[in-house]
Each structure stands twice: as structure tokens, then as C-alpha cells.
Structure 1
């Protein structure tokens, strides 16, 4: 009886470990979500991937511009809505969860990202 209980416990433990190993890290999820949020809300005019030109020539690449912002500035700008310099740009107020995802996307590839990550 004890042997069967231990075998069942090993099966459950092995299943839990397999499930955990198949799930992507939270940081990877955040990066993917951040890119998707920028693509959904901003890519009509702005490039959201490093090195790509923006569809609207006068619109800056958001990966380049926002990627220089420390956490505090990004949080303020995106939660209050970045001020538009022209009438066609919508003022979007992002949730704190969206801002965190955007932050991780923008700073993941930055050489000094660890020093700027939110605490």
C-alpha cells in the first residue's frame, strides 16, 4: 500500500514539474504582452520594434524613444496619457499592468536594463 502511495506521489510530482517547465517565464510573457499592446494601440503610426521605420514618417520609433525612459517616467507618461503634438494622435491611458508589460518589452534588450527595472 505504501509503495502505491509513493508511486502516485511521484507521478503527481513529475506532472507538476513538467507543467512548470512548459510555461514561459513571467518576464517573457510580459515582453510579448508589451509588444502586443504597443502594436495594437500605436503601430498605425509608430514603429514599435527596434530599427524599423515608422509607417508615418514623422512619428518616432516608440521602441527607441520610450526605451530610454526610466520606469518612473514611463509610468507617469503612459498612465496619464502621453501628450499629443498633433490632433490625430489619440491620448491613451494605459493600466499599470500594461505599463509593466511595455516596460519589460522595451528594456529587455537594453544593456543596462537591470538597473532600470521596476522594484
Structure 2
């Protein structure tokens, strides 16, 4: 039981209060928590569970976040070798982008 509780607690603590106040970012957080957290660090702290998967908070160091919208809508084929293909609807794209913008390291 502890092996599930500790990661869930760490994830909850890494979420900022502003995420809960911004509906798009909250929906984006829920999406990435469900679909991405098994490989990527999705919060403001911590390492990615899969070493080759970049932490989401550092994506702006590699790509302009707004440029990821097209890739998310058309389908990200591969970001790292074991990454599944994703294709999001326009609402999901906006939600994920809002969340990613919220957590970027400046």
C-alpha cells in the first residue's frame, strides 16, 4: 500500500494551488497525470520515472510550449523510444498547454 501512497502524496504536493484555481490547467494536470506520469515527471520537482523521458517542467528549454500544440493535435509519434502515440482533441490540447505553461522553470 505504501508504494502507491507515497508517489500519490508526492504528486499532490508538487501541484500548486493555482492549478486548482485555473480550470484549463487543472484539466491538463489530470490528463498528464493519467497518461504521462508513468514516464515523465509532471510536477515542479522530481525526476522522471523513465530516465529518457524529460521532466515536463523543462520542456520550454527544448521547445516553445505554444509550438507543442500542433504536435499534440496531430499526434506525437515519438518523444522517446517507449512513448505511445497520442492525439488530443482541441480542448485537451489547450488544457495540456495551459498546464505545461504553468509549471515551466524560468
When normalised by structure 1's length, the TM-score is 0.60
When normalised by structure 2's length, the TM-score is 0.66
Aligned length: 84
Is the radius of gyration larger for structure 1 or structure 2? 1
Would you say the 8 A contact 1:50–1:64 is kept in 2?
A: no
- Runs in 1 of length 4+ with deviation above 6 angstroms? none
Structure 1 residues 48 and 66: CA distance shift in structure 2, 3 A: farther
Q: Which runs of 5+ in 1 are unaligned?
A: 1-26, 113-119
Q: Which runs of 5+ in 2 are unaligned?
A: 1-20
Q: Relative contact order (alpha carbons < 8 A, sep ≥ 6): 1 or 2 greater?
A: 2
Instruction: Write out aligned runs for 1:80-119 (5 A).
Output: 80-84=74-78, 85-86=80-81, 88-108=82-102
Once superposed, what is the RMSD of the aligned Cα atoms? 2.4
CA shift for structure 1 position 109? 5.2
